[in-house]
Amino acid sequence: MDRLSRGLVVGQAPPLPPELLSSDYKPLQGQPEKRLARLAGLSLDELWTLFDRLDLLGWCPGKKDRKSYHLWSAGYRKHRCDGHRFPLPTARLVAARLRRFGGLERYAVVVLCGRLVAAAFGLNLDRSVPWTEETDGVRFLVLPHPSGVSHFWNDEESWHRAAVVFRSALRVAGLTCQAEIDGVASVQSQDGEDIAADSDTTPRGSGTACCSDAARAEPVRSKFFQLAKVSEDCSSKGLQH
């Protein structure tokens, strides 16, 4: 079987009801796609040149109810949004049809945004994000959901690990743009600053989807990743904002 020279990104659901969405709405539009592009070291145009995208659910299930201890009146001062509901039984039905009829095995890699989407596809949840899994010929990469609701993105080490694994997945899957740089792989943090993967000042290219030897994380254990060792430890290489 020949795999497509493209990947697929699967999000949860649209953020708003259909009547409130813009006429040019696309899945993961806005901040989520910007975060994915920064993780991959790509521009938005480059990201969607390499990937198709879809929402697993075609409608917005609505926002989650706010817990009492998350209320502003209770002194909570972190995120102001708790995300959206995700009816897992329905999502599992949709995911099952996608796996049977969607031709997912032809994609070079299928990126699932968040553990809930991974659960809908029946993946093994006994691990932490990011992780890879190959089942029934489909190569899955599970990333944290790229919305700002996820606390994962508040931790610098977690950010770097997700970036290194994503870039490694692109390289192993053969999804690369025109320019690959054999030097520093830098990722842009969510507040706009560059997170340099090395102390050198090698300029960042416009389309790198590779993981340099300087940006290293833990080994990735998967049949998909036939890499002896992706890397050792981000913090040992002086990663900093």
pLDDT tens for 125-134 read 998 899 999 9
Distance CA 72, CA 69 (A): 8
pLDDT at 66 over 70: no
Q: What is the pLDDT of residue 118?
A: 97
Rg of the chain over CA atoms, in angstroms? 18
Under a CB-based contact definition with an 8 Å cutoff, are residues 156 and 193 in contact?
A: no
For residues 35-47, average pLDDT: 95
Distance CA 59, CA 74 (A): 32
For residues 136-143, average pLDDT: 95
Q: What is the pLDDT of residue 62?
A: 75
For residues 107-134, average pLDDT: 95
> 73 in helix, strand or coil?
helix
Q: What percent of the chain has pLDDT over 90?
A: 48
Q: What is the pLDDT of residue 84?
A: 61
Pairing of strands 131-135, 187-188: unpaired
Q: What is the pLDDT of residue 72?
A: 59
* Amino acid at site 163: A
- Tell me if the bond preceding 130 is cis, omega within 30° of 0: yes
63 or 33, which is more confident: 33
pLDDT at 59 over 90: no
Q: Residue 202's CB: how many other CB atoms inside 10 A?
A: 16
Q: Return the DSSP state at 66.
A: P
pLDDT at 10 over 50: yes
Which of the four pLDDT bands, split at 50, 70 and 90, describes residue 171?
Answer: very high
Which of the four pLDDT bands, split at 50, 70 and 90, describes residue 98?
Answer: very high
Pairing of strands 187-188, 194-195: antiparallel
Q: What percent of the chain has pLDDT over 70?
A: 63
Task: Write down the mean pLDDT value for the chain.
Answer: 74
pLDDT at 228 over 60: no
